[in-house]
Every structure is written in C-alpha cells, then in structure tokens.
C-alpha cells in the first residue's frame, strides 16, 4: 500500500517556501468562505479579498474558478487521507478494523456535508472512480476488511461498500429525500458490520 496521500489530479508540482505558503493561504481563505457562506460565495474576487491579495494572484494560481474548486476538493481529500492513514484512532491506526471502517464511513459522509457541492462538481467533471484519491480509499477499505477477517472477493466487496458513499448518491439522499446525514452514516456502519460479520448458517 502506498501510504503517501495522493492528489485527486496527480499533477501537483513540488512547491516550496513562498509558493506553497501562498497556496495554503488562498485555500484556507476559500475554505473559510465555504464554511461561512457556502460554495456559491467562493468567487475569485472574494478569495482574493479574504486572503488580502490581488485578484490576479488567485487567477495565476488556480487558472479559473473550476481550478480553485478542484484544488479545494483535493485539499479536503488529502486531509481525510492523512487522517485515516496517520491520524489518531478510531479513524487512524490503532483501533479495531471494524471501528476504523465505521469511522471512515462517517468521515466520508461528513465530508459531503462540508464540501458537497465541490464533490458533486468534481464528479460530474469526470473525476470519479479512477481518481487516485478514490483508489486510496478503496485500498484502505479493502485492507480493513482483510484485517477484520472478512472472507470473500475483497476487491469487489470493497467497491460495493464504497459505492453507497458516492457523493452524488449521498447528496441525493440528503437533499432530495431528506434523510439526515447521521441516518445515512448509521446505516452505512450497519452495512460495514454485516460485511465483516462471520457466517453462521
């Protein structure tokens, strides 16, 4: 398993010093705007004002609003990856694999709450099953299923367990069907437990 957090886009150049600091400053400003006013409030101009830089700096860094959205999504994916690969239990190493699996599902569903629109935008742009970030989640789920002693076709079962966490589906259940995210997280935890339960026939 490759344990270095992987980018959604896999095209990030190595950044050092000022460039990396500026990028982080702009992404932090954009994240604050999302938290305070929602995704629609994130314009290039609003990010520039919030970060105290010129609008041209934001355009030079991200190219377009779509580029900024993808960078924001990437940022939150890396944070989630970092948390499940290296962070404290129950999401990170050290907890029981089933507890880790349940914590992973909850964290992914919570990510939809915070960054739903970004995810939906990135998914409809075709960044979906084959994105490096998706592969990392897949390997993680497969590893936890194995550690929990699950017997079966683990690569396909891991994909089946990830499928209900698809942001487009979660957003549909939440916004259109009105199911609270907590309810979706509980049902997913139930599913994960059924998946890892030994057979008694």
Residues 167, 168, 173: CA angle, nearest 5 degrees: 95
Of 59 and 179, CB closest to a copy of itself: 179
Confirm or reject binding of residue 59 to a copy of itself (CB under 8 A).
Answer: no
User: Of 129, 132, 133, 141, which one interacts with a copy of itself (CB under 8 A)?
Assistant: 129
Query: What would the x/- binding string for a copy of itself be over residues 38 to 57, using CB under 8 A?
Result: --------------------
Residue from 172, 175, 181, 182 in contact with a copy of itself (CB under 8 A):
172
Burial label for 84, CB within 10 Å (0-12, 13-18, 19+), is: buried
Asked if residue 99 binds a copy of itself (CB under 8 A), the reply is: no
Q: Are 74 and 111 in contact (CB under 8 A)?
A: no
- The pair phi, psi for residue 78, each rounded to 5°, is -65, -40
Task: Please report whether residue 183 would count as binding a copy of itself according to CB under 8 A.
Answer: yes
CB atoms within 10 A of CB 37: 11
CB 148 within 8 A of CB 196: yes
Task: Provide the binding-site residues for a copy of itself, judged by CB under 8 A.
Answer: 128-130, 152-153, 155-157, 159-160, 163-164, 166, 168-169, 172-173, 176, 179, 183-184, 186-188, 190-191, 194-195, 197-200
């Amino acid at each position: 398993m490759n344990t270095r957090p992987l980018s959604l886009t896999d095209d990030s150049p190595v950044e050092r010093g000022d460039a990396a600091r500026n990028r982080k400053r702009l992404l932090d400003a954009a994240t604050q705007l999302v938290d305070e006013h929602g995704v629609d409030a994130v314009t290039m101009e609003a990010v520039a004002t919030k970060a105290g830089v010129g609008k041209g700096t934001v355009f030079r860094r991200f190219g377009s609003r779509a580029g900024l959205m993808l960078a924001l999504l990437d940022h939150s994916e890396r944070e989630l990856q970092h948390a499940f690969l290296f962070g404290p239990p129950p999401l990170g190493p050290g907890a029981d694999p089933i507890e880790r699996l349940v914590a992973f599902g909850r964290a992914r569903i919570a990510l939809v709450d915070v960054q739903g629109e970004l995810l939906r935008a990135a998914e409809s742009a075709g960044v979906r099953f084959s994105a490096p970030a998706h592969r990392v989640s897949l390997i993680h789920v497969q590893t936890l299923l194995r550690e929990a002693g699950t017997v079966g076709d683990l690569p396909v079962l891991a994909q089946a367990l990830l499928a209900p966490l698809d942001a487009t589906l979660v957003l549909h259940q939440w916004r259109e069907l009105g199911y609270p995210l907590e309810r979706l997280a509980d049902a997913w935890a139930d599913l994960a437990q059924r998946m890892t339960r030994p057979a008694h026939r």
